[in-house]
Structure 1
Amino acid sequence: MESGLNFIDLILEASVLVQLVMLTLVGMSIASWAIIFQRRAVIAEAQSDARKFEQQFWSGMDLGKLYNEITARSGSSKGLEALFVAGFKEFARHKKNNTGSANMILDGTHRSMRVALSREVEKLESSLSFLATVGSISPYIGLFGTVWGIMTAFIALGNVKQATLQMVAPGIAEALIATAMGLFAAIPAVMAYNRFAKHVEKLEVNYANFMEEFANILHRQAATLVEAKSNVSA
């Protein structure tokens, strides 16, 4: 025996405004899932690239050779490679010009790597704000559609002398679908945002730790160069 309340029919029979609310929520949900899959791939790639580069960096390979290999590739470097290239490029420039003390060289490389760090984190956080927005406003958009639908249903009952549950049920049911759609759009977006934000935070800490360790290596090399220069001048 059929209940008489079909999900598709309820959507088609809803008021125009409620249908627009539902259509908006469906669009937001589709966009959220597209971003979720895209960000998942980007963050997973960043994590994999970071592990591979750290293994290569700490293998004892000559830094100049590593820099040349990275810059010789087609396309721009990213992740830890971008920080390494920014720092080593600045270090090589000071070394070539033979200017400044070890601390001055370190300040220059640190600034270059901080800029690169900000850019890489910004790339990782791209579109996460959209997920946060969807997670925040979707339930309220759905609630608006529900309130409007229920209000419309009760206004229609004002023209009826004797109201029954059978008369009001379809109107309330179609209105509640908007709330369900709002939650359907919001829950995955919130869960994905929290998960991705946590991964980005871990990557940022990893990048910052590498930056400090690399800066220490360059500082020692700069100190050695400055000391050798002083001995030659003496």
Structure 2
Amino acid sequence: MQHQIMNFVALGANPAADLSALSLFMTANWLVKAIMLGLLAASVWVWAIIFDKSIKLRRMKAAAADFEEQFWSGGSLDQLYEEVGKAPSDPLSATFAAGMREWRHANERGLTSSGAMRANLAQRIERVMSVTVSREMAQTERYITVLATVGSNAPFVGLLGTVWGIMHSFTSIAAAGNTSLAVVAPSIAEALFATALGLVAAIPASIAYNKFSSDIARFGDRLDSFVTEFSAILQRHLEERG
């Protein structure tokens, strides 16, 4: 009976704890605070990458569609090169510009006169465009690995904060000798808050990584198809000259 009275007094002496996010952060252990700040920074970084990639991929697809419309319109390739060759605005036009630049350079040096030179030229143009595709895709895929890293590791980092926070809480509770719910609940809540932050950072990162990886892979296939088609066009021009 005396023990129950003491617990009742303890509950009365400890009013309802503030379990807001700011309060949970401020009362957390220093290591848990560091983990929370790291996860919050990772979440901000993830969303910055998501917005940046979303805008860039949308613009890139629109620019590629405009370029393909011009390319397949039946107009002069030389004129198209004059329009986009100096400052390509998307990977597709950059690939075209690289191939046309090599083609013009070969024409200026007279490398399209003999059969052996024409065969080597076709291979060289295709190789130049393939290198351009690789470079452009590497630029497009920049920071994508950050999404994969955060998506796979943030929950474990948050779990580390939770485990450490609970250990610290149990130590404090044991030292105080008070196991009432009013005393235990805030400590457990602030520890679990680290896991929640880990999930908040990981879930959008994982979804965005899968979405962007799929979109970039499809765009890469689009570039590879263009390289094949454009190489076939240049090969046909070389054969007509022969």
TM over 0.5: yes
Q: Is the aligned partner of 1:136 residue 2:152?
A: yes
Q: Is the aligned partner of 1:79 residue 2:99?
A: no
Q: Is the aligned partner of 1:172 residue 2:171?
A: no
Partner of 1:66: 80
Q: State the alpha-carbon separation in 1 of the partners of residues 155 and 107 from structure 2.
A: 58
1:105–1:219 contact (8 Å) kept in structure 2: no
Correspondent of 1:55 among 51, 54, 69: 69
Partner of 1:9: 23
Correspondent of 1:36 among 50, 55, 58: 50
Return closer, same or farther for 1:150/1:212 CA change in 2, 3 Å cut-off: same
Q: State the alpha-carbon separation in 2 of the partners of residues 140 and 173 from structure 1.
A: 17
- What is the DSSP-based 3-state SS (H/G/I as helix, E as strand, rest coil) of the residue aligned with 1:202? helix
Q: Can you give the 5+ residue segments of structure 2 that lack an aligned partner in the other structure?
A: 1-14
Q: TM-score, normalised by structure 2?
A: 0.88
Q: State the alpha-carbon separation in 1 of the partners of residues 208 and 16 from structure 2.
A: 36
1:49–1:79 contact (8 Å) kept in structure 2: no
Aligned length: 223
Partner of 1:220: 236
What value does the CA root-mean-square deviation take over the aligned residues? 1.5
Q: Is the aligned partner of 1:126 residue 2:146?
A: no
Q: State the alpha-carbon separation in 2 of the partners of residues 90 and 16 from structure 1.
A: 60
The alpha-carbon deviation at position 19 of structure 1 amounts to 0.9
The alpha-carbon deviation at position 6 of structure 1 amounts to 2.0
Q: State the alpha-carbon separation in 2 of the partners of residues 10 and 80 from structure 1.
A: 50
- What is the DSSP-based 3-state SS (H/G/I as helix, E as strand, rest coil) of the residue aligned with 1:19? helix
Partner of 1:187: 203
Q: Which amino acid aligns with 2:204?
A: P
The alpha-carbon deviation at position 49 of structure 1 amounts to 0.9
Q: State the alpha-carbon separation in 2 of the partners of residues 195 and 30 from structure 1.
A: 19
Deviation larger for 102-111 or 146-155: 102-111
Superposed CA offset, 1:88-112 (max 9, x none): 1111222222224332111110111
Q: Which amino acid aligns with 2:154?
A: S
The alpha-carbon deviation at position 166 of structure 1 amounts to 2.4
Q: Can you give the 5+ residue segments of structure 1 that lack an aligned partner in the other structure?
A: 228-234
1:53–1:81 contact (8 Å) kept in structure 2: yes
Partner of 2:104: 92
Q: Which amino acid aligns with 1:171?
A: S
Q: State the alpha-carbon separation in 2 of the partners of residues 52 and 29 from structure 1.
A: 35
The alpha-carbon deviation at position 50 of structure 1 amounts to 1.0
Q: State the alpha-carbon separation in 2 of the partners of residues 94 and 196 from structure 1.
A: 38
- What is the DSSP-based 3-state SS (H/G/I as helix, E as strand, rest coil) of the residue aligned with 1:61? coil
Q: State the alpha-carbon separation in 1 of the partners of residues 156 and 180 from structure 2.
A: 29
Partner of 1:232: none
What percent of counterpart residues are identical? 38
Q: State the alpha-carbon separation in 1 of the partners of residues 210 and 225 from structure 2.
A: 23
Q: State the alpha-carbon separation in 1 of the partners of residues 142 and 24 from structure 2.
A: 37
2:162–2:193 contact (8 Å) kept in structure 1: yes
Q: Which has the larger radius of gyration?
A: 2
- What is the DSSP-based 3-state SS (H/G/I as helix, E as strand, rest coil) of the residue aligned with 2:75? coil
Q: State the alpha-carbon separation in 1 of the partners of residues 23 and 62 from structure 2.
A: 48
Q: State the alpha-carbon separation in 1 of the partners of residues 137 and 39 from structure 2.
A: 29
1:25–1:142 contact (8 Å) kept in structure 2: yes
Q: Which amino acid aligns with 1:50?
A: A
